[in-house]
Amino acid sequence: VLCWQPNAGTTINSQMLIEVSKCVESINGVKEGEWKNTFCFYKPMLKEQANASEFPQHFFGASLQEQPYKFYMMENLQSYRIKFAHNCEGFQYRLGDFLVRVGKVVPMDSENLRGLLLEILFSVEMEYLPISSWKTSHLIMSEFFEILKETLGKKSLQGHFVHAEQNFSEFGLSDQYTSRHTVVQYASIWAQMSTTAQ
């Protein structure tokens, strides 16, 4: 999962998403259809504020398009209610053995945002289909990311994609890549975003 890091003082607009999509198509990406993931942030429903320190302030939930009937939650304590939710929606492209999903992040209900600064307005997911081993495919994915960055570099976009390396074993995940790995990457991005927004 890659997230967009805008240049300082730059406003992100939908034209950037169009340009990134065109870049994927320029390296022979074939649009396969629409793509959408849903991310929810929950906060505890506390009867007594004195107990607030006992529970996480909020936790992350995700529903991914490839498994729409599964909902992944990063913590599961007490009762929570939705604080705010976002969809990441866009298009899926096939480039040989790779799937690339390009999407924008949009709030499901702008009323609940109240002060949250959205620095990341679109993201890219990359998947290498023949190999599910994270360690084995990591080098191939890194090389593909470099090709994508080089292609994007030919455009005058006001920012760049970044990828934060994850230690999946910290989350009890094996080397065999699953949807849980994707959720951990998104949770990390959202945690970073909420930290910089505060």
Residue 47 confidence (pLDDT) above 60: yes
Angle, in degrees to the nearest 10, between helices 14-26 and 134-153 = 110
Over residues 54-82, the mean pLDDT reads 69
Residues with Cβ within 8 Å of residue 91, at least 6 apart in sequence: 21, 31, 32, 33, 34, 35, 101, 102, 103
190-193: long-range contacts, CB 8 A cutoff, minimum separation 24: 190/39, 190/41, 190/60, 191/60, 192/164, 193/118, 193/119, 193/120
Whole-number Å distance between alpha carbons of 17 and 25 = 12
Domain boundaries, the chain: 2-197
Task: Please name the amino acid found at residue 115.
Answer: G
pLDDT of residue 194: 62
What pLDDT was estimated at residue 104?
A: 84
Query: Which pTM value belongs to this model?
Result: 0.74
Lowest average pLDDT, out of 45-49, 151-155, 168-172, 191-195, goes to: 45-49
Check whether 94 has a pLDDT greater than 90: yes
Average pLDDT on 138-155 reads 90
Instruction: Check residue 46 and give its pLDDT.
Output: 62
Q: How much is the average pLDDT of 46-55?
A: 60
Looking at residue 113, its pLDDT comes to: 39
Q: Tell me, what's the pLDDT at 173?
A: 92
Summarised one tens digit per residue, pLDDT across range 6-20 is 888 877 777 888 888
Class of 2-197 per CATH? mainly beta
pLDDT band at 55 (very low <50, low <70, confident <90, very high): low
Q: What is the pLDDT of residues 106-135, one digit of tens each?
A: 777 654 433 333 444 678 889 999 988 988
